[in-house]
């Protein structure tokens, strides 16, 4: 499956890095990161990575690491790089170390907080200009425990930064295995699945290939301006 899924993808990304665009076009988000991919991982590298995290990677992401790259060009500010450098995190990039590698085999809790619960928690938190009395600080503690508790992201790894501490995660374990979730908690939102348009969650391959198709289209439009 991997050969058919990822055939020619690395070449498509590398072709974008050679597109010359006018300076004024740099305002486009698609150009905020160079179209460069890291080298691929070897089968031995992937096997060691899986042994260290205690779970097999979802097939689409696994074959991406083997055939396209260990990270680099991709949605947001680019895909965090999988690596096996001694003394370094297993994934590198902005906020890439927010996962608990010791709990990746645990099922991801695929249940966002109820919007009403989220609103009620937020309403009790101190706002700008409020006195930070004990009641406000207690409310802030409840917010952090409910929204940012370590159990919220077990079984998943952050894949990329969307800016302003927002991220997207790949689920490794549980019913949502292979799915992509967006993390809006830094904007007083929550974790939520990226919908696939048919009631399910977008998986890694579609997530990446949709981004690549959009990037190619945007660059084509820019080059004609």
Q: Where residue 131 falls among pLDDT bands split at 50, 70, 90? A: low
Does residue 129 or residue 223 have the better pLDDT?
223
Q: Where residue 156 falls among pLDDT bands split at 50, 70, 90? A: very high
Residue 68 has pLDDT above 70, yes or no: yes
Instruction: Give the chain's mean pLDDT.
Output: 83
- Interior CA angle at 206 toward 201 and 207, to 5°? 75
Residue 69 has pLDDT above 80, yes or no: yes
Residue 113 has pLDDT above 90, yes or no: no
- CA separation for the pair 154, 166 (Å, rounded): 17
Q: Which positions ≥6 away from 14 have C-beta within 8 Å? A: 35, 37
Residues of the chain above pLDDT 90, percent? 52
Q: What is the pTM of this model?
A: 0.84
Token pair 């991709």: residue: 74
- CA separation for the pair 30, 171 (Å, rounded): 25
Q: What is the pLDDT of residue 33?
A: 53
Pair 87, 153: CB distance under 8 Å: no
Q: What is the pLDDT of residue 178?
A: 97
78 φψ region: left (φ > 0), alpha (ψ -120 to 50), beta (else): left
Q: What is the pLDDT of residue 50?
A: 97
Q: What domains can you pick out in the chain, each with its CATH number?
A: 2-109+154-223 (3.40.1580.10), 116-149 (no CATH)
Residue 218 has pLDDT above 90, yes or no: no
| Helix or strand (DSSP H, E) at 159 | strand 156-163
Does residue 27 or residue 107 have the better pLDDT?
107
Residue 62 has pLDDT above 90, yes or no: yes
Q: List, for residues 70-81, the tens digit of each pLDDT value.
A: 999 999 989 999
Residue 107 is classified by DSSP as P
């Amino acid at each position: 499956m991997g050969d058919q899924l990822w055939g020619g993808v690395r070449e498509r990304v590398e072709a974008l890095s050679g597109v010359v665009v006018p300076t004024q076009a740099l305002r486009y988000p698609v150009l905020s990161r160079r179209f460069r991919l890291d080298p691929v991982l070897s089968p031995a590298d992937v096997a060691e990575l899986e042994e260290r995290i205690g779970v097999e990677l979802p097939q689409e992401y696994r074959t991406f690491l083997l055939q396209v790259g260990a990270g680099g060009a991709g949605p947001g500010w680019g895909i965090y790089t999988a690596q096996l450098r001694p003394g370094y995190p297993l994934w590198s990039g902005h906020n890439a170390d927010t996962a608990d590698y010791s709990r990746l085999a645990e099922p991801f809790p695929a249940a966002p907080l109820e919007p009403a619960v989220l609103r009620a928690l937020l309403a009790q938190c101190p706002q700008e200009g409020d006195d930070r009395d004990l009641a406000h600080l207690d409310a802030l503690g409840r917010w952090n425990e409910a929204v940012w508790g370590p159990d919220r992201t077990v079984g998943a790894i952050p894949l990329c930064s969307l800016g302003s501490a927002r991220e997207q995660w790949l689920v490794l374990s549980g019913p949502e295995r292979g799915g992509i979730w967006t993390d809006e908690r830094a904007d007083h939102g929550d974790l939520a699945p990226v919908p696939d348009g048919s009631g399910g969650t977008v998986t890694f391959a579609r997530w990446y290939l949709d981004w690549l198709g959009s990037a190619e289209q945007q660059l084509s439009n820019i080059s004609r301006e």
